[in-house]
Amino acid sequence: MASRTESQTPARPKSFWLRYIFSTDHKMIGIQYFLLAVFAAFLGTALSALMRYHLVYPEAKVRWFGLLWPDGAPGGVMTPELYLSLMTMHGTIMVFFVLTTVPQSGFGNYILPLQIGAEDMAFPRLNMLSFWTTALSFAVLCAAFFVEGGAPLGGWTAYAPLSAIGGIAGPGQGIGMTLWVVSIMLFSVASLMGAINFITTLLDLRTRGMSLMRLPLTCWGWLVTAVISLFAFAVLAAAGILLLLDREAGTSFFIPAGLIVSDRILPNKGGSPLLFQHLFWFFGHPEVYIAILPGMGVISTVLSVFSRKPVFGYKAMVYALLLIGMLGFLVWGHHMFTSGMSPYSAIAFSVLTLSIGVPSAIKTFNWLGTVWRGSLQLTTSMLFALGFVSVFVAGGVTGMILGQPVLDMYFHDTYFVVGHFHMIMGVASVLAIFAGTFYWFPKMTGRMMSETLGKIHFFITFAGVYAIFMPMHLAGLAGNPRRYADFAQFDFLRDLTSLHKFITHAALLTAAAQLLFLINLVWSWRKGAKAPENPWKATTLEWALPSPPPIHNFGHESPEVVRGPCDFSVPGAPSDFLMQHEGERK
């Protein structure tokens, strides 16, 4: 195929449907993912607000609860099963449709081809298909709210047999649970399609001069995440199929013999609930790295740009990403320390789990090394990036405790765990999403977000997340079990009421503050100040394109890369930053 001349560069599709809805342009698809995830995030946050409210006011009569959920909240009082289903959906929506979507499919789709000088992803139509499959998956999940019995109540982890025996296990475990499984299967397929696209694009479509060791760390994050997804989601898909068969076809993969539920003896024959946990967590642990690795790439970039310094130890950062990706597949047993697994396995998993602390620590030291002696510009994006480092350490140190079975035997399934994973996964990833949004918004829309509104949003959010999640560790110290619909039945839990009230108030306030972000996003999109091509004076290739970039980006004038991705403040250089395609070959 001969290369085309300029006059033959394809124009944007004219039809509204092809341009905005069924677009194959990676930039449009990235925005579609982003918007889907923003909606999901607000829904997930609203669910958590309802949860926190119920925990401290379990008897409260709220009229519109009764209107929305006549069965789940008769007379306006939330029942335990409704609480549990809100909790299940909160976890599922946040983990899959926010954390697994924005950093990888949202930012990755938009920015990756730009940063490597490609015209689009390797398989644009597959890309479109993967977005719409994700959207369908979300619709199927939300449908669970509206079916008989409502949404499932087994947690996002859906342990068998509770998830496998159907409606007799509890409200929502009938059709609601089936829809949940189908949704997750669809999501897995969509993720696999996306992973294939990312890997192929990164391996094959880099512009001249863009060797692997000149890739921006964002691209490394997306690459490792895509490889992890490729292996992890395959296992989730297998687990989901077996679970579906147990539910609908009378098989006994996960359901043992001789169970009595609601006075009925179940006919199943000797399956293994632990098998489900192994399959689920073999996916589930790499999943948390899928949620955080792209964010780490963003943070490395943002810290570097706004310190006007190269990333400290680029090579070490790459190796750390690779090591985290690999080790991430070897530690799943730490979710199962109290399950009755062999103590030998537990110890092996423990050693491996704590070993992952090493590359994570290296990255943290290198982030600090990046900003050390830098020329810091405290833009909103930078504030969120610094906040990321703070919460990553806060969440990470408790990992050292939870990774030891002897200690986990107390803390498993308590609020100590809830605090831990929210800090290191929920909060950290979300701060990275905010950092990335403020950073790339100018490129995507041609406008700047409001720094004032952004800073107010940051300070409230940053203080707020500490106020919400650090006290949860205290509750965990007291032995407060998680997934309890209320704390009225246990003497030792009544002492914790004031703590929980504090958490709830902090949560409601912080949740409300997220509206500032939404307002900023919407207002800036229409009325923000016009953005120059490279407002942050950054070095990676996306900043060499107009804002927003034209269809097919560089076209066939794709630049040749001559240097690494973070040549800031190079001694003797004419400017404090050198773009990757600028100047003489290094």
Partner 1 sequence: MALSLLLWLIALVVAASFAVKRWWLPQPINDHAAGFDAWFAINFWIAGFIFLAAQIALGWIVWRYRGRKARFSEGDSRLEIIWTVLTTVLFVTASVIGARMFAAIQFDPHPAGALRVEVSAQQFSWNFRYSGPDGRFGRTDVRSVNDAAGNPFGIDGKDAAGRDDIVSSALRVPAGRPVRLILRSRDVIHNFFVRELRIKQDLIPGMEIPFRFAAAVPGEYEIACSELCGLGHHQMRSVLIVLAPAAFDAWLAAQSGGR
Partner 2 sequence: MSVMAAGTGRRVSFTGLYAFLATVIMFFAAFTSAMVVRRGASKDWKGTPAPALLWVNTAVLALGSAAVEKARRDLRAADRRKFNIGWTMATLLGALFIVGQIVVWRQLRQSGVYLNSHPGSAFFYVGTVAHAVHLAGGWIAMLYLNVRALRLQLGPGRRTAVDVTAIYWHFLGLLWVYLLWLFQFWGNA
SS3 483: coil
Inter-residue contact 305 to 257 (CB < 8 Å): no
Instruction: Compute the distance between CA of residue 315 and CA of residue 323 in angstroms, rounded to an integer.
Output: 12
Instruction: Compute the distance between CA of residue 56 and CA of residue 45 in angstroms, rounded to an integer.
Output: 17
537 interface partner picked from partner 2, partner 1, none, CB below 5 to 8 A per type? none
Residue 144: closest CA among 179, 92, 187, 183: 179
Per CB under 8 A, does 355 bind partner 2? no
Closest distance to partner 1 from the beta carbon of 373 (Å): 4
Backbone angles phi, psi at 315, to 5 degrees: -60, -45
Among 69, 97, 187, 253, indicate the residue that binds partner 2 (CB under 8 A).
253
Per CB under 8 A, does 279 bind partner 2? yes
Among 68, 142, 278, 401, indicate the residue that binds partner 2 (CB under 8 A).
278
Closest distance to partner 1 from the beta carbon of 226 (Å): 26
Closest distance to partner 2 from the beta carbon of 122 (Å): 4
Inter-residue contact 192 to 544 (CB < 8 Å): no
576 interface partner picked from partner 1, partner 2, none, CB below 5 to 8 A per type? partner 1
Contact segment (CB under 8 A) with partner 2 among 163-171, 239-247, 307-315, 438-446 equals 239-247
Site string for partner 1, 544-573 (x = CB under 8 A): ------------------------xxxx--
150 interface partner picked from partner 2, partner 1, none, CB below 5 to 8 A per type? none
239 interface partner picked from partner 1, partner 2, none, CB below 5 to 8 A per type? partner 2
Q: Closest CB to partner 1 among 528 and 564?
A: 564
Residue 425: closest CA among 100, 152, 15: 100
Closest distance to partner 1 from the beta carbon of 500 (Å): 11
Q: Closest CB to partner 2 among 191 and 520?
A: 191
| 496-525: contacts with partner 1 (CB under 8 A) | 496, 499
| 513-552: contacts with partner 2 (CB under 8 A) | 552
| 100-139: contacts with partner 2 (CB under 8 A) | 119-120, 122-124
Q: Closest CB to partner 1 among 13 and 80?
A: 80
Instruction: Compute the distance between CA of residue 148 and CA of residue 525 in angstroms, rounded to an integer.
Output: 40
| 8-37: contacts with partner 2 (CB under 8 A) | 9-10, 24
Site string for partner 1, 456-475 (x = CB under 8 A): ---x--xx--x---xx--xx
555 interface partner picked from partner 2, partner 1, none, CB below 5 to 8 A per type? partner 2
Per CB under 8 A, does 569 bind partner 2? no
The reply to whether omega before 80 is within 30° of 0 (cis) is no
Contact segment (CB under 8 A) with partner 2 among 226-234, 335-343, 495-503, 562-570 equals 226-234
Among 339, 501, 552, 583, indicate the residue that binds partner 1 (CB under 8 A).
339
Per CB under 8 A, does 339 bind partner 2? no
Residue 249: in which H helix or E strand, if any? none
Instruction: Compute the distance between CA of residue 256 and CA of residue 264 in angstroms, rounded to an integer.
Output: 14
Q: Closest CB to partner 1 among 10 and 340?
A: 340
| 182-211: contacts with partner 2 (CB under 8 A) | 192, 195-197, 199-201, 203-205
- # residues contacting partner 2 (CB under 8 A): 49
Per CB under 8 A, does 234 bind partner 2? yes
Inter-residue contact 376 to 382 (CB < 8 Å): yes
Distances (CA, A) of 210 to 27, 188, 564: 21, 31, 8
108 interface partner picked from partner 2, partner 1, none, CB below 5 to 8 A per type? none
Instruction: Compute the distance between CA of residue 505 and CA of residue 501 in angstroms, rounded to an integer.
Output: 6
Q: Closest CB to partner 1 among 197 and 307?
A: 307
Among 127, 207, 229, 353, indicate the residue that binds partner 1 (CB under 8 A).
353
Query: And the tokens for 174?
Result: 């009938």
Site string for partner 1, 358-387 (x = CB under 8 A): x--xx-xxx-xx-xxxxxxxx----x--x-
Backbone angles phi, psi at 253, to 5 degrees: -70, -45
Instruction: Compute the distance between CA of residue 28 and CA of residue 20 in angstroms, rounded to an integer.
Output: 7
Inter-residue contact 240 to 184 (CB < 8 Å): yes
Closest distance to partner 2 from the beta carbon of 336 (Å): 13
Query: And the tokens for 424?
Result: 């290191």
Residue 250 burial by Cβ neighbours in a 10 Å radius (0-12, 13-18, 19+)? exposed
Provide CB contacts within 8 A for 221, sequence distance 6+. 103, 293, 294, 295, 296, 297, 298, 321
Per CB under 8 A, does 235 bind partner 2? yes
Per CB under 8 A, does 409 bind partner 1? yes
Inter-residue contact 332 to 280 (CB < 8 Å): no
The reply to whether omega before 548 is within 30° of 0 (cis) is yes
6 interface partner picked from partner 1, partner 2, none, CB below 5 to 8 A per type? none
DSSP state of 331: -
Per CB under 8 A, does 340 bind partner 2? no
Inter-residue contact 413 to 481 (CB < 8 Å): yes
Instruction: Compute the distance between CA of residue 170 and CA of residue 336 in angstroms, rounded to an integer.
Output: 24
- Dihedral angle, C-alpha 449, 454, 457, 463, nearest 10 °: 140
Question: Please, which contacts does 489-497 make with residues 24 or more away whose CB atoms are closer than 8 Å?
Answer: 497/56
* Sign of the C-alpha dihedral computed for residues 106, 112, 118 and 122 taken in this order: negative
DSSP state of 579: -
307 interface partner picked from partner 1, partner 2, none, CB below 5 to 8 A per type? partner 1
571 interface partner picked from partner 1, partner 2, none, CB below 5 to 8 A per type? partner 1
CA 355 centroid distance within chain = 23
Instruction: Compute the distance between CA of residue 414 and CA of residue 418 in angstroms, rounded to an integer.
Output: 7
148 interface partner picked from partner 2, partner 1, none, CB below 5 to 8 A per type? none
Residue 201: closest CA among 121, 110, 297, 103: 121
Per CB under 8 A, does 243 bind partner 2? no
The residues of the shown chain that bind partner 2, judged by CB under 8 A, are 1-4, 9-10, 24, 119-120, 122-124, 192, 195-197, 199-201, 203-205, 230-231, 233-235, 237-239, 241-242, 245, 249-253, 269-272, 275, 278-279, 282, 552, 555-556
